[in-house]
Amino acid sequence: MFQANYFDGRSTRVRVVNLSVAGDDLIIAGEDIDFRIPFTDVMVDERLGRAPRRLRLKDGTFCEVRDLDALDTLLSSTAHRDGWVDRMQRHLQFVLFSIVACVALVVMAYKWGLPWAAAKGAHTLPPAIGRTLSVQTLKLLDGKILVPSGIPEERRQALSAKFHALRLPDGGTPHSELLFRSSPQLGANAFTLPDGTIIVLDDLLTAIGDDPQALAVFAHELGHAHGRHGLQLLLQSSAVAAFWTLYIGDISNLLAAAPAAIVQARYSQDLERQADDYGAALLMQNGMSPALLADALERLAESHSGSSKGGYLSSHPSTDDRMRRLRQLGVSFKNK
């Protein structure tokens, strides 16, 4: 038997009562109260630390219990069982396991879950969204980071013509637009907007030199466009930003993320390999060797060495591996 406060739910009057169990019944007895009810009609609050627990009766009245140990003793003589979440919260091993599991799950979600979901999302979103995003991004970049191209008109037209004459591995022709720009900040670079528009910068064309290698780079970028990697990356960075917003609680920078994410796109090795494979297939489809892309990468690597600017390759990791793979494809292409 132990004391608790009884409240009738209609006023704030405190009534001190004694609680005890007889058979299957709870007995509540105090100054002007004395009744018993079957324990199956009593709802017991789960344990939350050392907070008082309430025994709630069906008519909205309840007993507020502060003597938690006495309540535990009383409960042990009834059919009451603690909920599983309650037991987890108090179990030291489970709490330690939870810490490890939380960290592991977050890491796994970031490494595998997020790219998978973003790729699915990028292929499901209506193309209109990619187009609007690209128009917005280009508007933001033009005149700030990007300036008009200095490449002679004839060379640009010739390159465009060759680009649009390419046959895609699925038999079609590129529906991507090819835009020429220059940028002191971005240097020798080319990137793909979410709708597949390819932007090639002057320095890249200068570094590469000949047209077949330029086409090889375009083929690689068409791989990114085909895989919708730009949109995927954008979704990924939005999701990460949203996560930090929830975790840290700051909403401000969520909106400014889009243009930055596209320019600084750091594709994973996996996405680069996908784009390389697509580019290689595309080149072979057009009777060109995949080795051309390797050559282009090599030229770019040379032009980058000694320059502090992060260029095309800084967002394209482990260039040596990629060149090796492409050259192997080139050898098998020649032998056919």
Partner 1 sequence: MDNVSESESRSHASSPRAPEQLHFTGNGAEYFGIWIVNLLLTIVTLGIYSAWAKVRRLQYFYRHTEMAGSSFDFHGSPSRILVGRVIALAMLIAYNYSVRLRSPLTIVILVAIAVVMPWLLRNSFRFRLYNTSWRGTRFHFRGTVARAYRVFLLNGFLTLITLYVMAPFMHQRLKAYQHDNSWFGRTQCSFHARAGQFYVIYLLLLVTLVVFAIVIGFSGIGGAFAALSQAQRQGGHPNPLAAFRALAILYGALILMGISIGPVFHALITNLIWNNTRVGEHRIECNMSPRVLIWITASNFVLVVLTLGLFIPWAMVRLARFQMESVRLLPAGDLQEFVAAEPETIGAVGEEAATAFDFDISL
Residue among 30 and 212 whose Cβ is closer to partner 1: 30
# of chain residues touching partner 1 (CB under 8 A):
46
Residue 23 touching partner 1 (CB under 8 A): no
Considering only 1, 48, 158, 165, the residue that binds partner 1 (CB under 8 A) is 48
Residue 61 touching partner 1 (CB under 8 A): yes
Provide the H-helix boundaries in 109-226: 114-124, 127-141, 153-165, 202-208, 211-226
Least distance in Å: CB of 310 to partner 1?
9
Least distance in Å: CB of 58 to partner 1?
14
Q: x/- site string to partner 1, residues 297 to 326, per CB under 8 A?
A: -----------xx-----------------
Stretch that binds partner 1, among 36-44, 50-58, 266-274, 296-304 (CB under 8 A): 50-58
Least distance in Å: CB of 289 to partner 1?
35
Least distance in Å: CB of 245 to partner 1?
9
Residue 165 touching partner 1 (CB under 8 A): no
Residue among 133 and 214 whose Cβ is closer to partner 1: 133
DSSP states of 247-315: HH---GGGTTHHHHHHHT----HHHHHHHHHHHHHHHHHTT--THHHHHHHHHHHHHHTT--S--TTTT
Alpha-carbon span 286 to 294, nearest angstrom: 17
Alpha-carbon span 211 to 139, nearest angstrom: 28
Tell how strand 43-44 and strand 53-56 pair up: antiparallel
Residues 225-284 that bind partner 1 (CB under 8 A): 247, 249, 251, 254-255, 258
Alpha-carbon span 88 to 240, nearest angstrom: 29
On whether the CB atoms of residues 134 and 197 are closer than 8 A, the answer is yes
Structure tokens at 85: 């979440």
Considering only 1, 9, 157, 260, the residue that binds partner 1 (CB under 8 A) is 9
Residues 96-155 that bind partner 1 (CB under 8 A): 98-99, 101-102, 105-106, 109, 129, 132-133, 136
Alpha-carbon span 159 to 179, nearest angstrom: 11
Residue among 14 and 158 whose Cβ is closer to partner 1: 14
Nearest to 229 by CA among 191, 200, 199, 259: 191
Residue 332 touching partner 1 (CB under 8 A): no
Q: What is the CB neighbour count within 10 angstroms for residue 16?
A: 11
Residue 12 touching partner 1 (CB under 8 A): yes
Residue carrying structure tokens 């004459």: 165
**Strands ordered across the beta sheet of 190-192:** 147-148, 178-182, 198-201, 190-192
Considering only 3, 78, 89, 314, the residue that binds partner 1 (CB under 8 A) is 89
Structure tokens at 15: 């009534």
Applying CB under 8 A, which residues contact partner 1? 5, 7-14, 48-52, 54, 60-62, 64, 85, 88-90, 94-95, 98-99, 101-102, 105-106, 109, 129, 132-133, 136, 184-185, 247, 249, 251, 254-255, 258, 308-309
